[in-house]
């Protein structure tokens, strides 16, 4: 029976539509075809280690977690790379974010970077987000960064100033703007121009910055004693691990300009190979009660604070309930609704467990319906990872199971299938709560010990009496197995 089920699922996979992904570069959904058959290289801009993880991060990295899990489910071998920006991510004032935090916290910048990286990893784990396969740090790739800057100077795309700064010369790279022309205007217009500098053109961006004497993080280079620009870290790292071209680049839409535009200019300028990235996949913005979350507005919500009110499963389900490209709003009304949905998943799984032995019907009753809903779920996922639509099918399965159990129309096999499918589909979003383990009371444990002793002594009459008593008084069924005594609830 079990193998027949397995076979049937495998057959379903065949008539799935191919995965479609929305590519910001072309502004349309495209059939996903990796460079190398069945292998996917995914780069997502990683953490800048200078402050606590907030809900915007939760949204972005939960989505890529879902994408990675789904690609692996489809049989792709995924290499997931997330860089760590531990130097060079400057504020509009020209200050390095990490050095500023270090001054405020009276610590060394590297200590600050380590602290927030550790915090990042802990929060991601709490949100049940898989750790990327590779998490290279910018400070450990200064050699690769310098080499890329040199390649850009050699190819005529960058220039060094008398002060020892190196800039990318935008007017030399004809394709500049090819990604951001597809990005909402307000996000491009909102990117501020830097203050007065030694650039040829205000739009040129820094590849290498000469360090001021008080600047702690600095390295020797052919250009000056300095540090890398933020954009160049990503391409130097990505090209080192993935080569000059790879499949998917992810990140929040706010990063499309100027950061991702700069990445394209650097990578294609340095290697001459186009396109640098085949699919640009961006997540939408996060708002708090309808207002964009930002430091200046003071409405940033840390993930750890949200986790005091809501479980990781609730936060993950809330994120997956909105399509990844649409704006997502954090408000308690929505979260409360989602919380109830998670409780529903939990109570359904408990109900399945409790009813497994109560099935009166032998043949399959509603397994076909579950298989159909599962197929619809997977089709929604393949259509640009349409998680809200997929979740409607997921909750249709939940409702169906409850209805069938309430009406007594189910076989054991139906329930086993339902349980397997709920767990299988729920894993993409990590929304399956851990069921509370039932514990035996001290009294029952004592009785089981007595029964064991009686059995060892050959007193099977007493042993049997105790077994009957446990069944009658506590509704617990004992089973003697090779691995010892097992127990389960009778009802
Ligand atoms: Zn980046």
Q: Rounded to the nearest whole angstrom, what is the distance from the C-alpha of residue 196 to the centroid of ligand 1?
A: 24
Q: Rounded to the nearest whole angstrom, what is the distance from the C-alpha of residue 249 to the centroid of ligand 1?
A: 9
Q: Does residue 88 register a pLDDT over 80?
A: no
Secondary structure element (H or E) that encloses residue 123, with its range: helix 109-126
Question: Do 457 and 365 share a domain, yes or no?
Answer: no
Q: Rounded to the nearest whole angstrom, what is the distance from the C-alpha of residue 251 to the centroid of ligand 1?
A: 7
Question: Do 346 and 275 share a domain, yes or no?
Answer: no
225 near 153, Cβ under 8 Å? no
Mean pLDDT confidence for 13-29:
82
Reading the block at residue 46, the tokens are 């990683």
Q: Rounded to the nearest whole angstrom, what is the distance from the C-alpha of residue 86 to the centroid of ligand 1?
A: 12
pLDDT at residue 9, as a whole number: 47
Q: Rounded to the nearest whole angstrom, what is the distance from the C-alpha of residue 272 to the centroid of ligand 1?
A: 20
Residues 6+ apart with CB under 8 A from 46: 82, 83, 84, 85, 132, 135
Q: Rounded to the nearest whole angstrom, what is the distance from the C-alpha of residue 254 to the centroid of ligand 1?
A: 11
Question: Do 423 and 364 share a domain, yes or no?
Answer: yes
Q: Rounded to the nearest whole angstrom, what is the distance from the C-alpha of residue 48 to the centroid of ligand 1?
A: 10
Q: Rounded to the nearest whole angstrom, what is the distance from the C-alpha of residue 46 to the centroid of ligand 1?
A: 7
Identify the CA nearest to 167 among candidates 45, 277, 273, 265: 265
Question: Do 42 and 159 share a domain, yes or no?
Answer: yes
Question: Do 38 and 134 share a domain, yes or no?
Answer: yes
Identify the CA nearest to 276 among candidates 39, 27, 41: 41
Reading the block at residue 188, the tokens are 């491009």
379-395 pLDDT per residue, tens: 999 999 999 999 999 99
Question: Do 352 and 211 share a domain, yes or no?
Answer: no
Q: Rounded to the nearest whole angstrom, what is the distance from the C-alpha of residue 141 to the centroid of ligand 1?
A: 15
Q: Pick the last residue of a domain from 309, 330, 350.
A: 309
Is 333 inside any structural domain?
Answer: no
Residues 6+ apart with CB under 8 A from 87: 96, 98, 109, 113, 138, 139, 217, 227, 228, 233
Q: Rounded to the nearest whole angstrom, what is the distance from the C-alpha of residue 53 to the centroid of ligand 1?
A: 17
pLDDT at residue 489, as a whole number: 75
22 near 325, Cβ under 8 Å? yes
Q: Which position has the higher pLDDT, 466 or 482?
A: 466
Mean pLDDT confidence for 195-218:
88
398-419 pLDDT per residue, tens: 999 999 999 999 999 999 999 9
Question: Do 267 and 196 share a domain, yes or no?
Answer: yes
Q: Does residue 114 register a pLDDT over 70?
A: yes
336 vs 315: CA distance, rounded Å: 10
Q: Does residue 181 register a pLDDT over 90?
A: no
158 near 152, Cβ under 8 Å? yes
Q: Rounded to the nearest whole angstrom, what is the distance from the C-alpha of residue 310 to the centroid of ligand 1?
A: 30
Q: Rounded to the nearest whole angstrom, what is the distance from the C-alpha of residue 119 to the centroid of ligand 1?
A: 20
pLDDT at residue 3, as a whole number: 47
Is 157 inside any structural domain?
Answer: yes
Is 74 inside any structural domain?
Answer: yes
3-state secondary structure of 20: strand
Question: Do 426 and 448 share a domain, yes or no?
Answer: no
The helix/strand count (H/E) of the chain reads as: 16, 15
453 vs 323: CA distance, rounded Å: 59
Name the domain count of the chain. 3
Q: What percent of the chain has pLDDT over 70?
A: 93
Q: Pick the last residue of a domain from 264, 288, 309.
A: 309
Mean pLDDT confidence for 420-441:
90
Is 331 inside any structural domain?
Answer: no
Mean pLDDT confidence for 296-304:
91
361 vs 347: CA distance, rounded Å: 23
Question: Do 182 and 136 share a domain, yes or no?
Answer: yes
Q: Does residue 4 register a pLDDT over 60?
A: no
Mean pLDDT confidence for 360-373:
96
| Residue 406: domain span | 1-20+339-436
Is 135 inside any structural domain?
Answer: yes
Is 324 inside any structural domain?
Answer: no
Is 417 inside any structural domain?
Answer: yes
pLDDT at residue 157, as a whole number: 98
Q: Does residue 14 register a pLDDT over 90?
A: no
Q: Rounded to the nearest whole angstrom, what is the distance from the C-alpha of residue 205 to the centroid of ligand 1?
A: 14
Q: Rounded to the nearest whole angstrom, what is the distance from the C-alpha of residue 487 to the centroid of ligand 1?
A: 53
Q: Rounded to the nearest whole angstrom, what is the distance from the C-alpha of residue 260 to the centroid of ligand 1?
A: 7
pLDDT at residue 13, as a whole number: 47
Question: Do 241 and 390 share a domain, yes or no?
Answer: no
Question: Do 417 and 289 share a domain, yes or no?
Answer: no
Question: Do 451 and 303 share a domain, yes or no?
Answer: no
What CATH number is associated with residue 106? Answer: 3.40.50.620
pLDDT at residue 479, as a whole number: 84
Q: Pick the last residue of a domain from 436, 452, 467.
A: 436
pLDDT at residue 339, as a whole number: 97
| Range from 99-103, 152-156, 223-227 carrying the lowest mean pLDDT | 99-103
Secondary structure element (H or E) that encloses residue 159, with its range: strand 158-160
Confidence of residue 11 (pLDDT cuts 50, 70, 90): very low
């Amino acid at each position: 029976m079990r193998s027949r089920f397995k076979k049937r699922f495998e057959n379903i996979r065949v008539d799935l539509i191919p995965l479609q992904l929305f590519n910001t570069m072309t502004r349309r959904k495209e059939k996903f075809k990796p460079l190398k058959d069945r292998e996917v290289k995914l780069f997502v801009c990683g953490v800048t280690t200078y402050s606590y993880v907030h809900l915007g991060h939760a949204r972005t990295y939960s989505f890529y977690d879902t994408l990675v899990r789904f690609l692996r489910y489809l049989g792709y071998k995924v290499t997931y790379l997330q860089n760590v920006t531990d130097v060079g991510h400057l504020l509009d004032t020209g200050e390095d974010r990490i050095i500023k935090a270090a001054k405020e916290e009276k610590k060394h910048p590297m200590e600050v970077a380590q602290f927030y990286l550790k915090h990042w990893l802990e929060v991601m784990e709490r949100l049940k987000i898989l750790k990327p396969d590779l998490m290279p740090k910018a400070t450990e790739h200064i050699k690769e960064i310098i080499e890329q800057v040199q390649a850009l100077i050699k190819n005529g795309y960058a220039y060094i100033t008398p002060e020892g700064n190196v800039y990318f010369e935008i007017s030399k790279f004809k394709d500049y703007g090819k990604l951001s022309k597809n990005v909402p205007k307000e996000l491009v217009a909102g990117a501020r121009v830097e203050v007065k500098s030694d650039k040829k053109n205000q739009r040129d961006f820094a590849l290498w910055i000469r360090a001021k004497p008080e600047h702690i993080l600095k390295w020797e280079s052919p250009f000056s004693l300095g540090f890398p620009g933020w954009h160049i870290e990503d391409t130097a790292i990505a090209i080192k691990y993935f080569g000059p071209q790879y499949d998917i680049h992810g990140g929040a839409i706010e990063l499309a300009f100027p950061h991702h535009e700069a990445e394209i200019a650097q990578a294609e300028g340095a290697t001459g190979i186009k396109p640098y990235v085949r699919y640009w996949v961006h997540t939408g913005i996060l708002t708090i009660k309808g207002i964009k979350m930002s430091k200046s507005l003071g409405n940033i919500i840390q993930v750890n604070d949200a986790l005091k009110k809501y479980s990781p499963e609730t936060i993950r389900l809330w994120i997956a309930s909105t399509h990844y490209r649409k704006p997502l709003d954090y408000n308690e009304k929505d979260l409360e609704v989602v919380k109830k949905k998670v409780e529903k998943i939990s109570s359904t799984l408990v109900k399945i467990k409790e009813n497994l032995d109560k099935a009166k019907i032998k043949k399959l009753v509603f397994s076909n319906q579950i298989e159909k809903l599962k197929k619809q779920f997977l089709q929604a996922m393949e259509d640009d990872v349409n998680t809200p639509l997929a979740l409607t099918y997921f909750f249709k399965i939940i409702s169906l199971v409850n209805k069938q159990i309430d009406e007594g129309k189910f076989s054991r096999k139906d329930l086993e299938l339902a349980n397997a499918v709920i767990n299988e589909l729920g894993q993409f979003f990590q929304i399956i709560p851990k069921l509370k383990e039932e514990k035996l009371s001290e009294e029952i444990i004592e009785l089981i010990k007595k029964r064991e002793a009686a059995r060892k002594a050959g007193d099977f009459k007493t042993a049997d009496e105790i077994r009957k008593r446990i069944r009658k008084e506590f509704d617990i069924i004992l089973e003697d197995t090779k691995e010892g005594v097992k127990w389960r609830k009778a009802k």
